[in-house]
Structure 1
Amino acid sequence: MSDIAVLVNTAVAVLATVVLIVRFRVNPVISLVIGSVYLGLSTGLGVAKTVETITGGFGEIMVEVGLLIAFGVLMGSILNETGAIRRLVEHLLRVFGPKRLPYTMGLAIGTALQSIFLDVLLVISAPLARRLAPKIGKLGTARMATAMAIALECGIVFMVPGVAALALAGLLGVPLGKMLVFGLVLIIPTIIISIAIMSFLFHKGFWNEAKDEDSTFIEDDGEASGAGAAAGGNSSGGANPGRASSPSGGSGAEGLEPAPAAVAVAERPEEKEAPLLVLFAPLLTALLLIGAGAVVEILELEIAWLQLLGNPVIALLIGLIGTGVVGRFTVGQARVENAITTGFKESGQILILTGVGGSLAATVAAAGLGDILGGFFSASTVAPLLVVWGIAAVLHIAVGSVTLSAITAAGLLAPIAPALGIDPVLIALAAGAGSLFMVHVTSNTFWLLQSLLGQSVRGALKSVTVGVSVASVVAILLILPMSLFL
């Protein structure tokens, strides 16, 4: 088959996948499999080879990240049950004061809390942010809403164990420790610079409190726990009349993941007050072990015990076991088991979506697209990264899901990564950065932040759409200089 025919059929497969999701509201998992089947058959792979490629690609990516995603979600579910997020925010407020709260809370959400399931993290932290916004002073709502939007979206694509970050690393063959180190190096300045830029714009008149703030859907109960539970009801399609359904028909914050029916964050009488550091110690230990394992690998050191403990699967398993032990001590065995059950339910669709992303990548590779596109790129490291960013941005504008657009872009680009002459970690980060561009009304995150933080739709377009787009541009501008050293 000619190169032009392969390119055309690949374009048709991607476009058909987008149309199925957006226009006909077919589940993204089913849409990606249909696109992969079409691509395989249309490029001459044949029935048997197409099915073999799709199933093989699914299995290969599950080998890479399946356990990691499951362990991360389970750990986050237990942390949620212990009320760790609420206590962390209160601690940040005491230590750093209200003026720095957008930055400190943003960094906490974008880094240390990324094992928490996105909807759960949003539902718990948004009411807390809303209550704390007046303490910041003028423009408190605008700054907190922007900080949360930027941190939530950047975290899932850049920071291990964020769902999209794990999927990107697996699809592009990036060692997870390396993804953690470079993601951390990127996400910290991205969050700080983006919040600073948006704060500057707000102070220059970009925010109009009379028009951009609206507390219609906020319950004035004065308690974060009550607001969190109300938010959980909204996130499953309840009482919020200002909310649009996601293009994929799902109810998760990205239109992909299932939202919890309700989230209670208030401490119950039987809870024991464990130090905050103890609650997060297992998660932080796991991340440190992964980072140490990456350093050992980069320096080519032979330290057997650290190579074992620094393996991402072992490190996250240690973190999960430790979090479970701490959870049993603080909230009891029954609630830990309930949290684990919830975590298994939440991780299911994420695992399947990630797997079919691997199926698409394998089909694209088998069709020969990598060899064809490899000749279209120069050895320059700048232009290809901008193309990667642009592809992910276009996919996100069309589909409305950060996670799905990042996975699809990485699936398309994985076969040509060797031909680009670029370290795969940069491609992963560029795809993640592009998938952040233009979070808008097709995203459930948009509507949850709009209602839970007391914004009008006009206000959410500024704090969420513009804010996260600024982060997308800042991130790619930081990634380009990184390419000079890799």
Structure 2
Amino acid sequence: MPLVIVAAGILVLLLLIMGLKLNTFVSLLIVSFLVALALGMPLEDIVKTIETGIGGTLGHLALIFGLGAMLGKLIADAGGAQRIAMTLVEKFGQKNIQWAIVASSFIIGVALFFEVGLVLLIPIVFAISRELKISILFLGIPMAAALSVTHGFLPPHPGPTVIAGEYGANLGEVLLYGFIIAIPTVIIAGPVFTKIAMKIVPASFKKSGSIASLGEQKQFKLEDTPGFGISVLTAMLPVILMSIATIIKLTQETMGIEPNAVLAAVQFIGDASIAILISLLVAVYTMGIARKIPIQTVMDSCTAAITQIGMMLLIIGGGGAFKQVLIDGGVGDYVAKLFEGSSMSPILLAWIIAAILRISLGSATVAALTTAGLVIPLLGQTDVNLALVVLSTGAGSLIASHVNDAGFWMFKEYFGLTMKETFATWTLLETIISVAGLGFILLLSLVV
């Protein structure tokens, strides 16, 4: 019965968002209340549960998410992202242009959220396409693959960051294992899949696309942008700090080294919030002060970044409320009992649940949060690596993007594709990322 109630709640959510065009955050709150009532939760506990869900989720995420948005905005507004892309294109040459796009999109994707990275990179990709007289989609698929993989697998992106907090996983381990999984996944979903897509829908590679909807784009002369090295360092600094701390921690545990003040300091600096704060301060200097940009202009960029993510934070909070209702309403315990004694790995189960919810709901972040509400009670029954469960949830939440996902329509319109062509390129691309990601996660689970 609890699973029937959850299924009904998801149908109501779809009706509210897609049918009645209600705001996603408001829809999540309404469904959270309805599902709580249907599960028989005491009336006096429902509001407290929803507040706990919103507060618990945003309390962990808001700092990382907010600072990460500012960092990405500073890099974008200073022209650092353009410098990274154009330098790599020049170094790789026309013959290896796809690999240049993959490398630059991956580096930029670490620092920028998916939608921001897409809007920033598409004009660059269009310009390269015109200059080299090659298909826009030939470059667009590798770009989208790299941005999507970093969005699904690597902190400080919302999905993996939120889920790591919910599962109690070490964010540094999620980042380290995420990189190991992300690199081969990007290769398969980017350059390799492009060759397959050219055979499936050859006509789509002749489309010219349109970025008119993006409006006036800020253009930089390359000599006016920050240097390539400093741009890459600024974008990757949070990853570097978190990775160093995680590697040292794993080495300490493996070798049995006693904790000391130096190790404590390294772990402090490598904490996600501190690492991103340090990186933001470095970016204020490298992307602003060092380039004689007034501090007020730099701060305006930071303010604009926070304004742009306000609604997304509320939606994530709404997803957290729904997740908490599933836990406090006993749905998670019910799922745990169903799989008691089962040999199915929580890694695979988390992926399956997230995939079903992603296809139903459209939002990867909401799908991942709802999965957490169902999977958390299972985690106490097994010694599975929590970082890998985080990544499998992220992988499942990327699968089969279709008409209920904003990314589907963005890709369709920018590249001038028909519905059929979008399904054969974007939807298939996201599915390959999800399935390949799961495969590499299961392989990694045999080692860690």
Q: Given the two structures, how large is their TM-score scaled by the length of structure 1?
A: 0.82
Aligned to 1:198: 193
Amino acid at match of 2:150: G
The one of 207, 210, 214 aligned to 2:207: 214
1:118–1:152 contact (8 Å) kept in structure 2: yes
Name which of 280, 285, 291 aligns with 2:232: 280
Question: In 1, Cα distance between the equivalents of 2:406 and 2:4?
Answer: 32
In the superposition, relative to structure 1, how do residues 61 and 443 fare at CA in structure 2: closer, same or farther (>3 Å)? closer
TM-aligned CA distance change 1:399 to 1:43, over 3 Å: closer
For the pair 1:390 / 2:352, whether they are aligned, the reply is: yes
How far residue 387 of structure 1 moved from its aligned partner, in angstroms, is: 3.3
Structure 1's 7 and 274: CA in aligned 2 closer, same or farther, altered over 3 A? Answer: closer
How far, CA to CA, are the matches of 2:148 and 2:225 in structure 1? Answer: 31
Report the CA distance between 1:90 and its aligned residue.
0.7
1:232 maps to which of 214, 226, 231: 214
Matched, 1:292 2:244: yes
Which ranges of structure 1 fall in alignment gaps of 5 or more residues?
Answer: 219-226, 234-261
Instruction: For residue 432 of structure 1, report the CA deviation from its aligned partner.
Output: 1.4
2:11 maps to: 15
> What is the rounded CA distance, in whole Å, between the counterparts of 1:51 and 1:395 in structure 2?
24
Provide the rounded CA distance (Å) in 2 between the counterparts of 1:363 and 1:418: 19
Q: Which is worse superposed, 320-329 or 34-43?
A: 34-43
Q: Percent identity?
A: 26
Matched, 1:150 2:134: no
Higher helix share: 2
Q: Is residue 2:371 matched to residue 1:444? A: no
Q: CA deviation at 1:474?
A: 1.1
Instruction: Provide, for residues 97-128 of structure 1, a one-character-per-residue CA deviation record: whole Å limited to 9, x for no partner.
Output: 23333234224323543332433221121121
User: Relative to structure 1, is the Cα distance of residues 374 and 107 closer, same or farther in structure 2, using a 3 angstrom cutoff?
Assistant: farther
Provide the residue aligned with 1:240 in structure 2.
Answer: none
Deviation at 1:151, TM superposition (A): 1.9
Cα distance in 2, alignment partners of residues 379 and 106 from structure 1 = 43
**AA aligned opposite 2:206:** E
Q: Do 2:35 and 2:325's aligned partners in 1 also have CA atoms closer than 8 Å?
A: yes
CA distance in 2, matches of 1:360, 1:416: 18
Normalised to the residue count of structure 2, the TM-score between the two structures is 0.89
Bigger shift: residues 40-49 or 374-383:
374-383
Q: 2:438 — aligned with what?
A: 476
> In angstroms, what is the RMSD of aligned CA positions?
2.6
**1:410–1:144 CA distance, 2 compared to 1 (3 A):** farther
Deviation at 1:319, TM superposition (A): 0.5
2:366 & 2:352 partners in 1: Cα distance? 15
How many pairs are equivalent?
A: 438
The residue aligned with 1:417 is: 379
Output the amino acid matched with 1:232.
L
C-alpha distance in structure 2 between counterparts of 1:96 and 1:480, whole Å:
33
Asked if 1:52 corresponds to 2:48, the answer is: yes
Write the distance in 1 (CA, Å) between the matches of 2:412 and 2:302. Answer: 30
1:422-470 deviation line (CA, Å, top 9, x unaligned): 3222222122112222222333323333333454444333221222212
Contact 2:234 2:282 in 1 (8 A): yes
Residue type at the aligned position of 1:327: M
Q: Distance in 1 between matches of 2:382 and 2:37?
A: 27
- Which of 463, 469, 474 aligns to 2:425? It is 463
Query: What does 1:288-327 align with in structure 2 at a 5 Å threshold?
Result: 288-298=240-250, 299-300=252-253, 302=259, 303-327=263-287
**Counterparts of 1:177 and 1:92, CA distance in 2:** 28
**Cα distance in structure 1, aligned partners of 2:419 and 2:48:** 46
| Residues 273 and 17 of structure 1, relative CA distance in 2, 3 Å threshold | closer
For residues 387 and 69 of structure 1, what CA distance do their matches in structure 2 show? 27
Distance verdict in 2 for CA 1:144–1:157, change over 3 Å? same
Matched-pair contact (CA < 8 Å) for 1:60–1:358: yes
Answer yes or no: is 1:108 the counterpart of 2:62. Answer: no
> Who is 2:32 aligned against?
36
Q: Is 1:165 matched up with 2:165?
A: no
Distance 2:297 2:404 in 1: 34
